[in-house]
């Protein structure tokens, strides 16, 4: 990648962050959301993963009959690209997986994508094709992002620390006292579903929002910004569920945290100052990572647009459940 192109990609990320306008806070229980707004000025150029699978435009399978835990095969039969977001769950085949990074599968393209297992005790076919699930819990996603960033930096591969993913899934089960025969992350979500649904009922998608900043007990957890509001609208409920399962039974800190907007501005500033060298992503576009202390994140840039940016503000070394 030429230096001029590298700087151009980094500049696009910084400019997108500067465009962000903060909306009015929404709160239910101990979970608060600040909607984020920014211009887009074009139609959504992608199909989303769930829609593409349901329409039969995208098939996701094991890479071979024997399978490979850290990889899956995706085939896009549509005449437009398919957007797969980091943290999206795929259910079935030999075991459930979660996608490691945000990926654009070009029209008519076939890719092998990096994934992590979130069902450690099953390795047998339940179906030939994967079905769309939810997004993994924000805590699991944040630890995955941290290990992916380290592997990219040191090995050039978008791979997670699989043992750490399993440990985080186990910690989630322990939080809710869930006994899962296959160690499936989805069993904790099923167990907590009635409580999670309360969050979704009270926190509705704010029209035209392209992003959100999420707080638990007043402490910033994550920021996500998308290229187009239709992306966020399409995954909104799954996004709230991803944070709600972490918020349930989480104890508030003794000292009051800084104002939410101040935390948001500080996090955006740290992200902009810590952007690493862009790399060619799996599929279309460039992956731009960030890792600075407890802040970790990434952006996917394609066709001079920031398709997806996510930042996790406080990622400890161990599971927090």
Instruction: Give residue-wise pLDDT tens across range 285-294.
Output: 999 999 988 9
Residue 39 phi, psi (nearest 5): -70, 155
Mean pLDDT for 289-313 is 96
Asked whether residue 307 is domain-assigned, the answer is yes
Q: Give the pLDDT mean for 86-112.
A: 98
Residues of the chain with pLDDT > 90, as a percent, come to: 92
Buried/exposed 13-51: b ≥16 CB within 10 Å, e otherwise:
beebbeebeebeebebbbbbbbbbbbebeeebebbbbbb
Dist CA 173 CA 33 (whole Å) = 25
Q: How far are the Cα atoms of 42, 169, 237, 295, 314 from residue 46, in angstroms, in the given order? A: 12, 31, 19, 29, 31
| 79, part of any domain | no
Assigned domain for 151 exists: yes
> What is the pLDDT, as a whole number, of residue 39?
85
Q: What's the number of domains the chain is made of?
A: 1
What's this model's pTM, rounded to 2 decimal places?
0.96
Q: In this predicted structure, what is the pLDDT of residue 6?
A: 83
Residue 77 lies in a domain: no
Q: Is residue 111 part of a domain?
A: no
Q: Is 19 part of a structural domain of the chain?
A: yes
Q: What are the tens digits of pLDDT across the range 108-167? A: 999 999 999 999 999 999 999 999 999 999 999 999 999 999 999 999 999 999 999 999
pLDDT tens, residue by residue, 6-24: 889 999 999 999 999 999 9
In a domain, 256, yes or no: yes
Average pLDDT across the chain, whole number:
95
Would residue 155 count as lying in a domain? yes
Residue span of the structural domain in which 33 resides: 3-44+137-312
* pLDDT confidence bin for 318, thresholds 50/70/90: low
């Amino acid at each position: 990648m030429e230096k001029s192109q590298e700087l151009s990609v980094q500049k696009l990320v910084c400019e997108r962050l500067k465009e962000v306008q903060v909306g009015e806070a929404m709160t239910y229980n101990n979970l608060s959301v600040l909607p984020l707004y920014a211009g887009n000025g074009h139609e959504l150029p992608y199909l989303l993963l769930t829609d593409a699978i349901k329409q039969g435009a995208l098939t996701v399978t094991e890479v071979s009959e024997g399978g490979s835990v850290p990889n899956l095969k995706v085939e896009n039969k549509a005449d437009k690209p398919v957007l797969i977001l980091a943290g999206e769950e795929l259910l079935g085949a030999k075991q459930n997986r979660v996608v490691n990074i945000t990926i654009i599968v070009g029209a008519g393209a076939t890719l092998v994508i990096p994934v992590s297992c979130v069902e450690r005790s099953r390795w047998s076919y339940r179906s030939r094709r994967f079905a769309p699930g939810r997004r993994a819990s924000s805590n699991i996603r944040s630890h995955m992002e941290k290990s992916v960033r380290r592997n990219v930096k040191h090995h050039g591969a978008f791979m997670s620390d699989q043992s750490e993913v399993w440990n985080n899934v186990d910690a989630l089960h322990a939080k809710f006292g869930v006994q899962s025969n296959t160690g499936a992350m989805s069993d904790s979500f099923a167990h907590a579903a009635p409580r999670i649904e309360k969050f979704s009922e009270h926190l509705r998608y704010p029209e035209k929002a392209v992003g959100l900043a999420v707080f638990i007990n007043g402490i910033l957890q994550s920021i996500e910004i998308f290229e187009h509001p239709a992306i966020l609208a399409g995954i909104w409920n799954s996004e709230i569920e991803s944070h709600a399962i972490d918020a349930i039974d989480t104890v508030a800190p003794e000292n009051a945290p800084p104002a939410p907007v101040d935390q948001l501005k500080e996090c955006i500033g740290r992200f902009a100052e810590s952007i690493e060298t862009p790399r060619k992503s799996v599929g279309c576009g460039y992956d731009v990572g960030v890792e600075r202390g407890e802040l970790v994140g990434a952006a996917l840039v394609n066709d001079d647009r920031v398709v997806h940016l996510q930042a996790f503000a406080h990622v400890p070394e161990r599971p927090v459940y």
